[in-house]
Chain A
């Protein structure tokens, strides 16, 4: 079945997607005492560690208003990106029994893997918003653009997940490669350190960092919620609009390439998984 929005929205596929997501959620925290709470607690604990290390001891973001909440938002977004790509990548392998025995649109598995990450993300965002309210952040009109940024981030993550999932079927090493890549990307993205810090030291390095779609989306999302007085946005870094477009061009290319590759290889999934 071709990868088309109209097919995804077909009732039959929606039902299947729903059941898969529900099953996933039920299974993930089965037998754990705090259950679903863990999906909230984990990023908060991570935040606590980062806060103590980077804000308290290393004094990153000194003098930047609302720095802790932008740090928290960054961690939550990163958790989403890493969860969505990892779960999407494993989705075909984990559900190999289904692939081998039923004919159904394969992309549903990848989507279901990313959707449970998305649900976690939304729950986490609620916590972040509560923190922001406590921190007396003034939400401006730009906050209305925030859902759009999240949508782009989701589309980008899903596209990467499609590619990784298709590769993972025949080349299991990709899981390890991606793990290392993510670790590198984490430090190459202004999450635990403010972008200002890099630019103060080396403007060129700041430019390179902001070519990454993830860095661009993260900075935009934070600026949209917290305000530009705390977060440096890409348009403050680049004067040339062409550079500003680069991350989006990368996103579009990744989406086109991943979709093409997934469609090309999906007929062999059942045999190879």
Chain B
């Protein structure tokens, strides 16, 4: 292996067997003996599907991806906690075995006892810890609390203590997972100062984070994973941009609409919704096709938050819109373009489409979660459950 390379990953695959609940015990074992079609009791979940990349010595390497994309699995493989199914990982130098902060922290022990236990997990002897103890406590700003049990600490205090111990680790490669998630501003500044120091010292660091400013500020190289595959690799700004795109789902909506296509019931209704998020507005393009004529139909477009509440509703029969029912003819697609003012706060949203006869006697179609997307609007603090965005729409049938 090239001496400049700290970690080399080639064609890495990993899947897990996820046992179904209640299926791994003796009972299932015995039941299976008497069954012809044995219940498998587990399903294979493929988490990483062929990753290859190199981390050079002195790299500040960022790993980003949405929740469940396989980041943590990758880190655990790098740290040697998991063994790969296929492919190879070669590590040149020692690697801090930590994946998370405060591993092994026990709530029933005092802060002091936890420091020694955590230190032992990092490979420090009691004597070495004695020598470092005061510095650790000082850095964590917890002098008054060290003889209290850890369960009486706030979560921020626990992270401060864990971080203060972890940065003592002396190894060639450091792996840091989501350290910035907890902690107040002052502590985050401390973290950044520590990162800057690592960068100055040309340490090899692998940082897993959701904070794109940290990626752009410190990393010289980054990796974006989605669904177990590498989406973008290399330039941190590009990776950060792509990550934000992924989160906005803009990527998906520009692709073919097949993924959103919904086939429905006897009425043969097919509907599709595409969306585009801009700074000031959100645009939805809705298309509805029917294989039979839908008489006196009312089309309702609902926007729901992930909490389940409906925050916006648009119907063809309300006074501000068409004010009447429409007839959707056979094989003549109906197109509705809806432009809403972007006043929606941070969070996950999904679109629900309902088509009914105006007298509610027939449900022509009900499409749940026809589209899901995420809004990133940190400046909007409004908490009311129902929004009234300015809306414009076009409606046409061919």
List A residues at the B interface (Cβ < 8 Å).
Answer: 11-12, 15-16, 18-20, 23, 26-27, 30, 97-104, 170-173, 267-268, 270-271
* Structural contact, A271 and B82, CB atoms closer than 8 A: yes
Residues from chain B with Cβ under 8 Å of A19 in the complex: 116-117, 120-121
Bound-state Cα–Cα, A130 to B124, Å:
40
B332 interface hit (Cβ, 8 Å)? no
Bound-state Cα–Cα, A23 to B25, Å:
31
Interface code B69-105, partner A: CB below 8 Å = 1, 0 otherwise? 0000000100111110000000000000111100110
* Structural contact, A103 and B24, CB atoms closer than 8 A: no
Contacts A102-B97, A104-B121 known; list 13 others, CB within 8 Å: A11-B125, A16-B123, A19-B117, A23-B113, A97-B104, A98-B103, A102-B98, A102-B103, A103-B81, A103-B97, A171-B26, A173-B25, A270-B76
Bound-state Cα–Cα, A20 to B153, Å:
22
* Structural contact, A30 and B99, CB atoms closer than 8 A: no
Residues from chain B with Cβ under 8 Å of A20 in the complex: 117, 120
25 residue pairs of the A-B complex, CB under 8 angstroms, read A15-B120, A15-B123, A16-B121, A16-B123, A18-B120, A18-B126, A19-B116, A23-B113, A23-B117, A98-B103, A100-B76, A100-B81, A101-B98, A101-B99, A101-B103, A102-B81, A102-B104, A102-B121, A103-B80, A104-B121, A171-B25, A172-B24, A173-B25, A173-B26, A271-B82
* Structural contact, B113 and A26, CB atoms closer than 8 A: yes
Q: How many residues of B contact A (CB 8 A)?
A: 29
Question: B108 touches which one: A27, A170, A171, A270 (CB < 8 A)?
Answer: A27
- Would you give the shortest CB distance from B376 to chain A, in whole angstroms? 30
B220 interface hit (Cβ, 8 Å)? no
Residues from chain B with Cβ under 8 Å of A101 in the complex: 81, 98-100, 103
- Would you give the shortest CB distance from A37 to chain B, in whole angstroms? 19
Kindly report which residue of chain B lies nearest to residue A177, judged by CB atoms.
B26
Kindly report which residue of chain B lies nearest to residue A19, judged by CB atoms.
B120
Residues from chain A with Cβ under 8 Å of B100 in the complex: 101
Question: B124 touches which one: A15, A103, A267 (CB < 8 A)?
Answer: A15
* Structural contact, B83 and A267, CB atoms closer than 8 A: yes
- Would you give the shortest CB distance from B206 to chain A, in whole angstroms? 15
- Would you give the shortest CB distance from B167 to chain A, in whole angstroms? 17
Bound-state Cα–Cα, A20 to B121, Å:
9
Bound-state Cα–Cα, A270 to B117, Å:
20
* Structural contact, A23 and B106, CB atoms closer than 8 A: yes
Residues from chain A with Cβ under 8 Å of B26 in the complex: 171, 173
B244 interface hit (Cβ, 8 Å)? no
- Would you give the shortest CB distance from A157 to chain B, in whole angstroms? 25
Residues from chain B with Cβ under 8 Å of A100 in the complex: 76, 81
Residues from chain A with Cβ under 8 Å of B124 in the complex: 15
Interface code B11-22, partner A: CB below 8 Å = 1, 0 otherwise? 000001100000
Residues from chain A with Cβ under 8 Å of B17 in the complex: 271
Bound-state Cα–Cα, A268 to B81, Å:
9
Bound-state Cα–Cα, A213 to B76, Å:
41
Kindly report which residue of chain A lies nearest to residue B14, judged by CB atoms.
A271
Kindly report which residue of chain A lies nearest to residue B78, judged by CB atoms.
A103
Residues from chain B with Cβ under 8 Å of A104 in the complex: 97, 121
Residues in B192-249 with C-beta less than 8 Å from chain A: none
Residues from chain B with Cβ under 8 Å of A172 in the complex: 24-25
Residues from chain B with Cβ under 8 Å of A98 in the complex: 103-104, 121
Residues from chain A with Cβ under 8 Å of B120 in the complex: 15-16, 18-20
Bound-state Cα–Cα, A20 to B120, Å:
9
- Would you give the shortest CB distance from A159 to chain B, in whole angstroms? 24
**Which 5 A-B pairs have CB atoms at the shortest separation, nearest pair first?**
A19-B120, A103-B80, A173-B26, A101-B103, A103-B97
Max count, chain B CB within 10 A of own CB: residue among A12, A27, A102, A172? A102
- Would you give the shortest CB distance from B133 to chain A, in whole angstroms? 14
* Structural contact, B103 and A170, CB atoms closer than 8 A: no
Max count, chain B CB within 10 A of own CB: residue among A100, A173, A270, A271? A271
B286 interface hit (Cβ, 8 Å)? no
B370 interface hit (Cβ, 8 Å)? no
Bound-state Cα–Cα, A97 to B124, Å:
20
B51 interface hit (Cβ, 8 Å)? no
* Structural contact, B125 and A15, CB atoms closer than 8 A: yes
- Would you give the shortest CB distance from A113 to chain B, in whole angstroms? 15
Kindly report which residue of chain A lies nearest to residue B126, judged by CB atoms.
A15
Residues from chain A with Cβ under 8 Å of B116 in the complex: 19
- Would you give the shortest CB distance from A168 to chain B, in whole angstroms? 12
B109 interface hit (Cβ, 8 Å)? yes
* Structural contact, A270 and B109, CB atoms closer than 8 A: no
* Structural contact, A27 and B81, CB atoms closer than 8 A: no
Residues from chain A with Cβ under 8 Å of B16 in the complex: 271
Kindly report which residue of chain B lies nearest to residue A102, judged by CB atoms.
B97
- Would you give the shortest CB distance from B171 to chain A, in whole angstroms? 12
Residues from chain B with Cβ under 8 Å of A15 in the complex: 120, 123-126
- Would you give the shortest CB distance from B175 to chain A, in whole angstroms? 11
* Structural contact, A103 and B79, CB atoms closer than 8 A: yes
Bound-state Cα–Cα, A100 to B72, Å:
11
Bound-state Cα–Cα, A100 to B123, Å:
17
Bound-state Cα–Cα, A173 to B291, Å:
57
* Structural contact, B121 and A27, CB atoms closer than 8 A: no
Bound-state Cα–Cα, A101 to B96, Å:
11
Bound-state Cα–Cα, A23 to B108, Å:
10
Bound-state Cα–Cα, A271 to B82, Å:
7
Bound-state Cα–Cα, A170 to B19, Å:
10
Residues from chain A with Cβ under 8 Å of B117 in the complex: 19-20, 23
Bound-state Cα–Cα, A11 to B127, Å:
12
Bound-state Cα–Cα, A99 to B25, Å:
21
